[in-house]
Each structure stands twice: as C-alpha cells, then as structure tokens.
Amino acid sequence: MSAHCQLTGAKPGFGNAISHSHRRTSRRFGPNIQRKLYWLASEGRHVRLTLSAKAIKTVDAIGIEAAVARIRARGGKV
C-alpha cells in the first residue's frame, strides 16, 4: 500500500532523527493512512479508498459522493 491519501494527497514527510548525542540520521514521518470501504449509492457498488485519518473525517462531513467527486477531479481513480 502506497503511503499517500487519495482525497487530500498527504504523503510522507522527511527529516532527521536526533539522538541524545545530537547525531542526525534520516527518518520518515508517515501520514496516518487507513483503507476504508464505503458504499457508493449512485453507482450501486462499494469503493475501497486509501485515506488519511483527517480525510476520513472530511468524508464524514461532506459525504462519500462529494469526496469521490473531489478524488476524480484531482485525477484519481476510484
């Protein structure tokens, strides 16, 4: 599973882990990605989306139909 959100486009960020002795090593800050199944009534089928936790809250607020429209407007495949 790729670590990006289909709705918001959230991707991993990169930075440094700093030890007690202040040595720096590379690390990755991953988004909270979840796979979630929604019923898309207009098409009569289920859709499985890869969403961040923030995007799941957005879908709850705007509805799955509007969220799928946004994903398709970004050029994503549903």
- The pTM is what? 0.85
The pLDDT of residue 1: 52
Q: Note the pLDDT tens digit of each residue in 12-48.
A: 999 999 999 999 999 999 999 999 999 999 999 999 9
The pLDDT of residue 36: 97
List alpha helices for the chain, DSSP H. 53-62, 64-73
Q: What percent of the chain has pLDDT over 70?
A: 99
For 33-44, give the DSSP string: EEEEEEEETTTT
Rounded Cα distance between 51 and 67, Å, is: 11
